[in-house]
Amino acid sequence: MKFMPDTNALSRHMRGSDPALSARMREAIADDEFIFAFVVYAELAFGAEKALLAGERRPLERLHRLCETLPVAPLSGEVAETYGKLRARLEKRGERIGNMDIMLAAHALALDAVIVTHNVREFSRIPGLKVEDWQED
């Protein structure tokens, strides 16, 4: 099984603020079951740039080291089409979900991966998406 953490889960792991989550992430990485999604990389890059503008020194270094260890999964036409389908269907049902979360869900569906998130409620609105919460409360 492949696991694709959302931005919040991966951020908590990188900060080391949730030992149980980090243990599961390290296990998934060691077993080659970890997928680093493009959209999560983009969101982490945004956070690093904001930190740089706020005066932090070298906020991108940790992100670059992560990318050396875990290659970023590329997007594909299948991901784009799945995104379009999901967004249109959610809007038709009147269920708003953030566009980045829809893109992450589309990427996970295209790769048959499980989303690792603490935001189970939002992601559970997407039919067929597998979701797990590894986070301690």
Residue 53 lies in a domain: yes
Residue 24 lies in a domain: yes
Exposure string for 79-94, b = 16+ CB within 10 A, e = fewer: beebbeebbeebeeee
Query: Which CATH number characterizes residue 31's domain?
Result: 3.40.50.1010
pTM above 0.85, yes or no: yes
Per-position DSSP letters for 82-137, written without gaps between them: HHHHHHHHHHHTT----HHHHHHHHHHHHHTEEEE-S-HHHHTTSTT-EEE-----
Number of domains in the chain: 1
Residue 104 lies in a domain: yes
Residue 135 lies in a domain: no
* Whether 21 contacts 9, CB under 8 Å: yes
Mean pLDDT by 10 residues, the chain (137 residues): 96 90 94 96 94 89 88 94 96 93 97 96 94 89
User: Can you give the residue range of the structural domain that contains 77?
Assistant: 2-127
Residue 74 lies in a domain: yes
pLDDT of residue 60: 87
Residue 132 lies in a domain: no
Residue 13 lies in a domain: yes
